[in-house]
């Protein structure tokens, strides 16, 4: 596996519940590096661009409404196999299927508010990092 970069978001529910430090601690304990970190509230246009692949799905509006509902933390996480490693650390998208010990398995209860987002491929990571950190990656 190669050294990779991936976008990780602590979504508004994670920020509101005070889980930012816990998520960052797990990332760092795993051995990954934070190359960028920013607390921000997303503009609707940015959220729509981020979730563009879901535009035609019935839950698109709910995704955008939720991700823009409050501050989130955007991070560039780097390391060997960071994309797959972070997907494992986060757990399954549906918290009811997430392994105990994963972020979603330990802290999330519903799929619509599942604490974190992570890029699912090298191409997605490049696209998403370009949206959130356009001058850096």
pLDDT in tens, 78-87: 999 999 999 9
Per-residue model confidence as pLDDT tens digits over 9-31: 999 999 999 999 999 999 999 99
pTM: 0.95
Per-residue model confidence as pLDDT tens digits over 99-125: 999 999 999 999 989 999 999 999 999
In this predicted structure, the answer to whether residue 1 has a pLDDT above a threshold of 80 is no
The number of CA neighbours under 13 Å toward the Cβ of 25 is 6
Query: Do 19 and 107 form a contact (C-beta atoms < 8 A)?
Result: yes
pLDDT band at 63 (very low <50, low <70, confident <90, very high): very high
Give the Cα separation of 31 and 11 in Å (integer). Answer: 22
Which has the closest alpha carbon to 77: 26, 113, 42, 16? 26
According to the model, what pLDDT value does residue 2 have? 73
List active site positions: 117
Burial code of 81-117, b = ≥16 C-beta within 10 A, e = fewer?
A: ebbebbbebbbbbebeebeeebbbbbbbeeeebbbbb
In this predicted structure, the answer to whether residue 93 has a pLDDT above a threshold of 80 is yes
According to the model, what pLDDT value does residue 96 have? 94
According to the model, what pLDDT value does residue 15 have? 98
Per-residue model confidence as pLDDT tens digits over 26-52: 999 999 999 999 999 999 999 999 999
Q: What mean pLDDT is reported for the chain?
A: 96
According to the model, what pLDDT value does residue 137 have? 84
C-alpha distances (whole Å) from 33 to each of 13, 19, 28, 51 are 23, 18, 6, 25
Rg (CA), the chain: 14
Question: Which domains are assigned to the chain?
Answer: 3-132 (3.30.70.141)
């Amino acid at each position: 596996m190669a050294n990779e970069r991936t976008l990780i978001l602590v979504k508004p529910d994670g920020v509101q519940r005070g889980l930012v430090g816990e998520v960052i601690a797990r990332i760092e304990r795993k051995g990954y590096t934070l190359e960028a970190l920013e607390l921000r509230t997303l503009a609707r246009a940015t959220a729509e661009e981020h979730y563009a692949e879901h535009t035609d799905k019935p839950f698109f509006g709910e995704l955008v409404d939720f991700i823009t509902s409050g501050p989130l933390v955007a991070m560039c996480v780097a390391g060997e196999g960071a994309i797959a490693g972070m997907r494992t650390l986060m757990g399954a998208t549906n918290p009811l299927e997430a392994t105990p010990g994963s972020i979603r398995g330990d802290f999330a209860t519903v799929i619509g508010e599942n604490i974190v987002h992570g890029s699912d491929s090298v191409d997605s990571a490049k696209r998403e990092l370009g949206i959130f950190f356009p001058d850096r990656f």
